Amino acid sequence: MSEIGKFTAIISNLTTGVILLDSDLRAVYMNSSAEILIGVSSKRLAPKPIYQWLILCEKELELLKNALFENHPYTIREASVTTIKGQELIIDYSVSPIDLESSVGLLLEIQGRDRLLRIEKEEELFERHVTTRNLVRGMAHEIKNPLGGIRGAAQLLERQLPEESLQEYTQVIINEADRLRDLVDKLLGPRSLPELLPINVHSVLEHVHTLVVAEIAGSIELIRDYDPSIPDISADSGQLIQAVLNLLRNAVQSLTEQPINNPKITIRTRTKRQVTMGSSKHKLVCVIEIIDNGVGIDDAIKNSMFFPMISGRADGSGLGLSISQFIVSQHAGLIECQSEPGNTVFSLWLPLSLIGD
């Protein structure tokens, strides 16, 4: 590979958006991160000056134009811009004049603040999840040990009772001990590490779809919006089915407990490029979204809904989301949620490839 090719490959893989503008403020070059941030390819934007596809405030646009004539670099923090698709972004960007072959151009380095906030939120989620799992595991083992003793003592007592009618009481003790043991097992999540094999994500989703269709009996519209180009992912099929099924059943329950007109759930798959999850950077990530048009999630539990025993329903166990998050974390992914009345989206992120793979 030539030196130019090496530099191009490096810039293309940067998580910072890089845009090179000519003297007419048209895009000569954009790396993939900049295209992802703006949502349009550089080929479509090349004939248009930047102010037609990235709307800046009047003062910032004047600064951009003056940088060409005054040869003066500058940086703007937390600028509010609007893309050609109407998406509002908060960005940090630096502008540096640069000599082109026959004129002066501008080099823009753009960092989406939304993305940085998302990374910080992901890191917090990972840390909270690890802390919670360790706490739950410690409590679960402390609970299971005396439960075994209580159950064993009840069985011994049952053998010594003079009347069979009294065994009803020991059976209550045994059954309740078994129920608590099952609850603790659920708190601990899957007992084995995931068996990672190449699988088609849509085969998993179709299996889950079939199960839920039988449960809802036509009361809710289920929409499938798949990206068929997604390659196979490395996952444990059984565990992934459980994780997605928990999310889908949550959506079904939210629509049935507080009925609305035309209830519907959408299962959508997409890919995202250049994504950072935790401390790892990924070239490509598969995103599974479960979207419902229910009343949304109560603000009181939004920040704690992935913790065990936290539920917005009176009869909920509060384990479904916690188990799903644990399963997905075992696959080096994570689950996020955005919710408002009429639109709740659970996004399940699974890595397809690491930077450097």
Higher pLDDT, 112 or 212: 212
Across residues 5-29, what is the average pLDDT? 83
Residue 327 and residue 194 in contact, taking contact as beta carbons nearer than 8 Å: yes
- Give the separation between CA 351 and CA 130, rounded to whole angstroms: 19
List, in order, residues 6 or more apart from 10 with CB less than 8 Å away: none
Residue 282 and residue 351 in contact, taking contact as beta carbons nearer than 8 Å: yes
120 occurs within a structural domain? no
Say if residue 201's pLDDT is above 50.
yes
> Which residues are 94's β-sheet partners?
75, 109
290 occurs within a structural domain? yes
DSSP assignment of 98-117: EE-SSSEEEEEEEEEHHHHH
CA angle 191, 192, 198 (to 5 degrees): 140
Q: At which of 92, 112, 132 does a domain end?
A: 112
**Residue percentage of the chain with pLDDT more than 90:** 21
Give the type of residue at 51: Y
179 occurs within a structural domain? no
The single residue listed with the structure tokens 């998993």 is 204
Phi, psi of 349 (to 5 degrees): -100, 125
- Give the separation between CA 62 and CA 23, rounded to whole angstroms: 14
- Give the separation between CA 82 and CA 80, rounded to whole angstroms: 7
Which candidate, 95, 68, 41, 129, places its Cα nearest to that of 307?
A: 129
* Lowest mean pLDDT segment, chosen from 40-54, 117-131, 247-261, 293-307: 117-131
Q: Of all helices (H) and strands (E), which one includes residue 292? A: strand 280-292
257 occurs within a structural domain? yes
**What is the number of alpha carbons within 13 Å of residue 84 lying toward its C-beta?**
16
As to burial, measured by CB atoms within 10 angstroms (0-12 exposed, 13-18 middle, 19+ buried), residue 94 is middle
User: What are the structure tokens assigned to 333, written together?
Assistant: 């992914």
154 occurs within a structural domain? no
280 occurs within a structural domain? yes
Across residues 14-39, what is the average pLDDT? 87
Domain coverage including residue 328: 193-357
The CATH number of residue 15's host domain is: 3.30.450.20
Interhelix angle 237-257/320-330, nearest 10 degrees: 150
- Give the separation between CA 120 and CA 122, rounded to whole angstroms: 5
Higher pLDDT, 230 or 37: 230
Buried b (16+ CB within 10 A) or exposed e, 267-281: bbbeeeebbbbeeee
- Please name the residue ranges forming H helices in 161-302: 167-188, 201-216, 237-257
247 occurs within a structural domain? yes
Q: Of all helices (H) and strands (E), which one includes residue 132? A: helix 113-160
- Give the separation between CA 330 and CA 348, rounded to whole angstroms: 13
Buried b (16+ CB within 10 A) or exposed e, 145-178: eebeeebeebeeebeeeeeeeeeeebeebbeebe
User: What are the structure tokens assigned to 308, written together?
Assistant: 């065990």
Is the domain of 343 the same as that of 246?
Answer: yes
User: Helix (H, G, I), strand (E, B), or coil: what is residue 94?
Assistant: strand
- Average pLDDT of the chain? 81
Say if residue 355's pLDDT is above 80.
no
Q: At which of 84, 112, 140 does a domain end?
A: 112
Structural domain count of the chain: 2
| pLDDT computed for residue 281 by the predictor | 75
Query: pLDDT tens across 46-66, in order?
Result: 778 888 888 888 889 899 989
Query: pLDDT tens across 155-183, in order?
Result: 888 888 877 777 788 888 888 888 887 77
| pLDDT computed for residue 101 by the predictor | 75
The CATH number of residue 235's host domain is: 3.30.565.10
Is the domain of 199 the same as that of 88?
Answer: no
297 occurs within a structural domain? yes
Is the domain of 51 the same as that of 198?
Answer: no
Measured in whole angstroms, the distance separating CA 349 from the mean position of its chain's CA atoms is 4
Query: pLDDT tens across 232-245, in order?
Result: 999 999 889 989 99
Query: What is residue 49's DSSP assignment?
Result: B
Higher pLDDT, 284 or 147: 284
Query: What pTM, to 2 d.p., does this model score?
Result: 0.59
Is the domain of 202 the same as that of 99?
Answer: no
Is the domain of 218 the same as that of 321?
Answer: yes
Say if residue 276's pLDDT is above 80.
no
**What is the number of alpha carbons within 13 Å of residue 147 lying toward its C-beta?**
18
Measured in whole angstroms, the distance separating CA 308 from the mean position of its chain's CA atoms is 19
Is the domain of 317 the same as that of 202?
Answer: yes
Is the domain of 332 the same as that of 198?
Answer: yes
Across residues 191-196, what is the average pLDDT? 75
Q: At which of 112, 130, 154 does a domain end?
A: 112
Is the domain of 334 the same as that of 202?
Answer: yes
Is the domain of 205 the same as that of 347?
Answer: yes
